[in-house]
Amino acid sequence: MKKISSFLIGIVVCNSLAQPLPDRTISEGVELSLSRIDTGVTSTPEAMIMKGGRLFTSHHTSHTAFLLKHPKGLFLIDTGVGQKIDEQFYDLPFLIRPFFKFTKITTVIGALKKEDPTFDPQSLSGILLTHLHWDHASAIEEFPQVPVYTTEQEHKAAFKKSGKEVGYFPSQYDSPKIQWEFAKMTNIAYGPFPQSKDLFGDGSVIIVPMTGHSEGSIGFFLHLKTARYFFVGDIIWTVKQLKQGVQKAYLASSLVDHSRPVLQGTIELLQRIEKENPDLVIVPTHDLDHNKKHIPHYPKFVH
């Protein structure tokens, strides 16, 4: 059954490749601003990050949250690591923990309060999650009563697989106070993606399914005045993967990826999108050196 599903998904991807991305069209008066907060970093041999990577070339990995200003408020795309990450790490099997070591820098709340000591976490308008793995969802519970956007499929997988897959830490999202909002895709195609959701109804943020890394991963197209960004979560860890069309290094992928065959199709789709849209900035959450070139660190914003 799994092979059939992968085969059918492959057919959909192949048939959709010919569809170009639509032009950037957003409602008049709608402007976005974008910034990033690096909450943790680590340096890893590239050979452990991507297939065919160089052993003596370092990849700088960041655990990053992105700040999005929209006329409807201030939003996060992922949360990076939060204030309770040390406690949360106990959800990870002891022998696996060394593979995920990193150096803490700050937290989203820490960075925001440094600039504005009066910042109220409940003033955040929403958290947009590419998926619910630990390094993207760690700080959810630090923003009580703030809507958290994910897919129902990802939400179910996170609770079903907590304790069974290393990516999900149940202590990060088991509070009954979390205000879950499920992004329901419509059958309106967005370029090569057969389904999509216009989050605000103004064309500024488009959600699309991004299959392979987790069961319900999603990507976000952001339309700014100066550029268009495509947040792809952990489909790739570095943009270098797109040059060769390769996946993560096998050991890493076997630990964190849901379906390697499906993921390969998504990577090939990203390859095609990047080639056909040279002005598009693809944003893998953990590619620090790449993201520093395109998105300023808070408190600076790109518009």
How far is residue 23's CA from residue 178's CA, in Å, rounded to a whole number?
36
In the prediction, which pLDDT does 92 show?
A: 83
* Sequence-ordered strand ranges (E) for 241-297: 280-284
Identify the three-state secondary structure at position 197.
strand
How far is residue 265's CA from residue 5's CA, in Å, rounded to a whole number?
12
Which residues is 50 bridged to in the sheet? 248
In the prediction, which pLDDT does 163 show?
A: 55
E strand or H helix at 137: helix 134-137
In the prediction, which pLDDT does 3 show?
A: 41
Domains of the chain, residue spans: 32-294
Which residues is 41 bridged to in the sheet? 62, 103
Q: In whole angstroms, what separates CA 207 from the centre of its chain?
A: 11
Give the predicted TM-score (pTM) of the model: 0.93
In the prediction, which pLDDT does 11 show?
A: 39
Pinpoint the alpha helices (H) of 187-259: 240-244, 250-256
CATH-assigned architecture of domain 32-294 = 4-Layer Sandwich (3.60)
Q: Is 240 left (phi over 0), alpha (psi -120 to 50) or beta?
A: alpha
Which residues is 221 bridged to in the sheet? 206, 230
* Sequence-ordered strand ranges (E) for the chain: 33-45, 58-70, 73-77, 103-104, 126-128, 147-150, 179-182, 197-198, 205-209, 218-223, 228-233, 280-284
How far is residue 189's CA from residue 201's CA, in Å, rounded to a whole number?
15
* Residue indicated by tokens 């979390």: 178
**Average pLDDT for consecutive 10-residue bins of the chain (303 residues)?**
42 56 92 98 97 97 98 98 94 84 97 97 98 97 97 94 74 95 97 97 98 96 96 98 97 94 97 96 98 98 97
Residue 254 CB burial class (10 angstroms; 0-12, 13-18, ≥19): exposed
